[in-house]
Amino acid sequence: MSDSGDRSGGEAAAQDFAPDPASLAHLELILSGAYPLAGFMTREEADSVTKHGRLPDGSAWPVPVTLPVPDALADAERLTLTDPEGAPLAELRVRERWWSGAEDPQDGDGAPGHRLAGEVRFCQPPVYGALRHLRSSPEQVRGRRELAGDGGIPVLAVVTDRPLHHRELHRIRAAADDTGGGARAEVLVIIDAPLESAGTAPVVLAAEPLLPAPARFVVATLPRAGAGGSAASERRELLRAHVAAAYGATRLLALGDPVPAGDELPVPAVRAPDLAYDTAQAQWRPAGEVEPGAAARLPDEAEVEETLALGRELPAWFTPARVAAELARIRPPRTERGLTVFFTGLSGSGKSTIARGVAEGIRKSGRTLTLLDGDVVRRMLSAGLTFSRADRDMNVRRIGYVASEVARHGGVAVCAPIAPYAATRAEVRAMVEEVGDFFLVHVATPLEVCEERDRKGLYAKARAGEIPEFTGISDPYEEPEDAELVLGTEGRTVGESVAEALDALRAGGWLPTEQDRGAENRDADEPPTPQEA
């Protein structure tokens, strides 16, 4: 990209840099006016916020807002900050360079490394990112309220990244009515969605007709808090309060815990009323008024996910039909989701043979299948790559990319590379899980058994020093700690291993069971009812 700044006086040209996702989210909030900040923080400012929840000037602020950069940019004087596609968003004139050790995992400041601080100057409106039409600035949202004549109405803000089920909707309606001034508050729902995808935003939007009018929606991306348990959660809730205040909120409704409180809050936060579904009266009521044993147990997020994964309907008392339908659309049954079955193991472990058998079983189940075997991929997709660590990682990433594209369109990809490094496997998992499901199978054949098989003579050559950086001999194999299935192949036939893997996929809901197929066949054989004919 050409430099748009003034180069007179020998000033160095600005270098392009695409910040990491957290810093990019910070940048958008700075540029939109949702943050009362001019740019990225200095060491003093970040330390003050981390330790005291305040900037050095005494104003309350909950999270450090810093810009990590690679070593190559540590001495930069100017940076053009871009989106992931290279479009310029802002120019940073560096005020301070500093090193963050990130000793405190609660500071949300990322990994140790170089940081650059300074004010940012707007270049052009962002176009990258999902739901861009809903990413209005605080000034735009406040302006629309004024034009609509709603400027004097209290604003109840709800910041959420989760669906609004019946309980949440009842809570919002009750809080909107309870403003203390006799007038119902306008509801402003700020949907905290990822920048690169819609996330659960479509599900939240599905509840719009069920909210009291007037209700408005806006999408923003709040940086994820780092590790740190409750302290990190409290900082995140405080950040939500500051962003809500920027959008004109007069109160913040906390749907979960913790409820932010104290002098740091720019607007008061109110706790949502505790409600329970009374099975005896078939209605939502204040929890204290429901007889013991009559309160329905709410399904947690894992149970909701499992219900959707198995293609079952969510209870009508739990969520509105509109919300349930949108949830089912974005989280279809596992038999309809894109899936990557990723086999990893030492050379000679049997993973390719097992993967081929599993692929055939998946194909027979009726699912669209792509087999990405390690040796075939080496010839067709990764020709020219060496066996250096960098090239082996690139080979696995390429496999992961192709698998993610298969999963994106609802197909099943079966992959069988060695994939010896945990970090690279994690990259592939993250890539695939953006668009589908990931099922890691560790073919855990011991090294000595693999050497005994060694039909290609590779281990013998590696022992003789003829093959450098050979996995298991001169280079490590990092055994997975996150495998969905571990296959021990000693003393077992290939057929038994294939059957165990297919059984695991059926049990997880990714393949139809024998009962499912039997029901489908029975349905096909039965004559239609008069209503169907």
CATH of the domain at 202: 3.40.50.620
* Residue 529 covered by a domain: no
- Do 246 and 392 belong to one domain? no
Distance of CA 487 to the CA centre of its chain: 29
Whole-number pLDDT of residue 13: 83
Whole-number pLDDT of residue 399: 93
Residue stretches of the annotated binding site for ATP: 345-352
* Residue 504 covered by a domain: yes
Q: Using the predicted structure, report yes or no on whether residue 108 has a pLDDT greater than 70.
A: no
- Do 429 and 454 belong to one domain? yes
**Residue 515 pLDDT class (50, 70, 90 cuts):** low
- Do 339 and 486 belong to one domain? yes
**Comparing C-alpha atoms, which of 471, 508, 482 is closest to residue 429?**
482
- Do 115 and 159 belong to one domain? no
* Cβ atoms within 10 Å of 77's Cβ, excluding its own: 15
Q: Using the predicted structure, report yes or no on whether residue 227 has a pLDDT greater than 50.
A: no
* Token pair listed for 215: 């209700």
Q: Of 122, 143, 165, which one is at a domain's C-terminal end?
A: 122
Q: Using the predicted structure, report yes or no on whether residue 104 has a pLDDT greater than 50.
A: no
Whole-number pLDDT of residue 292: 87
Whole-number pLDDT of residue 517: 53
Q: Of 122, 156, 174, which one is at a domain's C-terminal end?
A: 122
**Residue 148 pLDDT class (50, 70, 90 cuts):** confident
- Do 484 and 354 belong to one domain? yes
Whole-number pLDDT of residue 184: 86
* Residue 21 covered by a domain: yes
* Residue 171 covered by a domain: yes
**Residue 109 pLDDT class (50, 70, 90 cuts):** low
**CATH number, domain containing residue 493:** 3.40.50.300
Between CA 335 and CA 301, with CA 206 as vertex, the angle to 5 degrees is 55
Domain span at residue 501?
334-513
- Across the range 150-174, mean pLDDT stands at 93
DSSP-based three-state secondary structure for 138: helix
- Do 109 and 142 belong to one domain? no
pTM, whole model, 2 decimals?
A: 0.79
- Do 68 and 182 belong to one domain? no
* Residue 325 covered by a domain: no
Q: Using the predicted structure, report yes or no on whether residue 521 has a pLDDT greater than 80.
A: no
**For residue 221, what are the contacts with CB-CB under 8 A and spacing of at least 6?**
25, 28, 29, 129, 192, 193, 194, 195
- Do 251 and 383 belong to one domain? no
- Do 68 and 162 belong to one domain? no
**For residue 168, what are the contacts with CB-CB under 8 A and spacing of at least 6?**
160, 255, 272
Q: Using the predicted structure, report yes or no on whether residue 10 has a pLDDT greater than 60.
A: no
Whole-number pLDDT of residue 180: 60
- Do 464 and 421 belong to one domain? yes
Which of 77-91, 361-375, 504-518 shows the lowest per-residue confidence on average (mean pLDDT)? 504-518
Mean pLDDT over each residue of the chain, to the nearest integer? 88
Whole-number pLDDT of residue 256: 78
**Residue 149 pLDDT class (50, 70, 90 cuts):** confident
- Do 254 and 341 belong to one domain? no
**pLDDT tens track for 425-473:** 999 999 999 889 999 999 999 999 998 888 778 888 888 788 887 887 8
**CATH number, domain containing residue 80:** 3.10.400.10
- Do 118 and 198 belong to one domain? no
**pLDDT tens track for 173-194:** 999 998 766 678 999 999 999 9
Residue that wins the pLDDT comparison between 401 and 472 = 401
* Residue 78 covered by a domain: yes
- Between CA 417 and CA 426 the distance in angstroms is 14
Q: How many distinct structural domains can be found in the chain?
A: 3
Residue stretches of the annotated binding site: 345-352
* Residue 424 covered by a domain: yes
The string of DSSP codes covering 379-433 is HHTSTT--SSHHHHHHHHHHHHHHHHHHHHTT-EEEEE-----HHHHHHHHHHHH
* Residue 111 covered by a domain: yes
